[in-house]
């Protein structure tokens, strides 16, 4: 019994599922590294930096922005190298957007109970506008960071630089159809059951 007339659509669907799982895995790793380092920075800032230097809340929030941006740059680079993320803008933007969704969800889960129990709902509306804009820009940079780093990566088409190696598989100039062998399917009417 033949389950599918053509396997092309099934393979495309399975490939899309695998690709989506890969994007989610990369995005979750990027989010988790940034979230945990951000929690550590906020804890150190609020318990050690703010009481010593006598910073107000907006000032202490603005002091954190460059450190959080640096953390985002470092963890994006680490994630790209560890998971060997391809140099495809759409793929990296999808991973960044998914990581932003994870970050927004985790932030809501962490802050909502604290704000509810502490009665600090007014604190949200009293936040300094400069700090709010800085954190908004930080979220945009966080989302785009993996795609931005494509501009700083080695292209691979121009040859290896000093200390870099290139790999070649012999299909660089071929189209994808010519490089990947295709399997011909036999029509159902021609298949004879023995």
Rg (the chain; Cα; Å):
24
Give dist(CA 156, CA 29) in Å, integer.
Answer: 26
Residue 141: CB partners within 8 Å, gap ≥ 6?
Answer: 69, 72, 148
**Mean pLDDT value across residues 54-78:** 83
User: Which residue pairs from 61-69 have beta carbons closer than 8 angstroms and sit at least 24 positions apart in sequence?
Assistant: 61/127, 61/128, 61/131, 61/134, 61/135, 62/128, 62/130, 62/131, 62/134, 65/131, 65/134, 65/135, 65/138, 67/41, 68/38, 68/41, 68/138, 69/138, 69/141
Determine which of 41-55, 61-75, 141-155, 172-186 has the lowest per-residue pLDDT on average. 172-186
Q: Is the pLDDT of residue 12 over 90?
A: no
Give dist(CA 75, CA 73) in Å, integer.
Answer: 6
Q: Is the pLDDT of residue 92 over 50?
A: yes
Q: Is the pLDDT of residue 176 over 60?
A: no
Whole-number Cα distances in Å, 167 to 11, 135, 156, 163: 28, 41, 9, 13
Residue 29: CB partners within 8 Å, gap ≥ 6?
Answer: 79, 82, 83
Token pair 């963890």: residue:
75
Q: How confident is the model at residue 108 (pLDDT cuts 50, 70, 90)?
A: confident
The pTM (predicted TM-score) of the whole model is 0.70
Mean of all residue pLDDT scores within the chain = 77
Q: 165 by DSSP, 3-state: which?
A: coil
């Amino acid at each position: 019994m033949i389950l599918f007339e053509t396997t092309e659509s099934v393979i495309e669907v399975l490939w899309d599922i695998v690709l989506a799982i890969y994007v989610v895995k990369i995005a979750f790793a990027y989010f988790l590294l940034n979230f945990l380092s951000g929690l550590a920075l906020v804890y150190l800032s609020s318990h050690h930096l703010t009481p010593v230097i006598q910073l107000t809340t907006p000032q202490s929030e603005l002091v954190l922005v460059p450190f959080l941006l640096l953390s985002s740059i470092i963890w994006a680079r680490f994630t790209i190298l560890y998971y060997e993320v391809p140099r495809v803008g759409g793929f990296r933007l999808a991973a960044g957007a998914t990581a932003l969704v994870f970050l927004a969800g985790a932030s809501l889960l962490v802050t909502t109970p604290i704000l509810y129990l502490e009665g600090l709902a007014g604190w949200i509306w009293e936040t300094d506008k400069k700090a709010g804009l800085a954190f908004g820009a930080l979220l945009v940079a966080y989302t785009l960071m993996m795609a931005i780093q494509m501009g700083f990566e080695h292209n691979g088409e121009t040859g290896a630089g000093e200390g870099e190696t290139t790999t070649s598989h012999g299909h660089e100039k071929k189209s994808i159809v010519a490089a990947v062998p295709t399997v011909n399917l036999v029509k159902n009417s021609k298949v004879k059951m023995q």
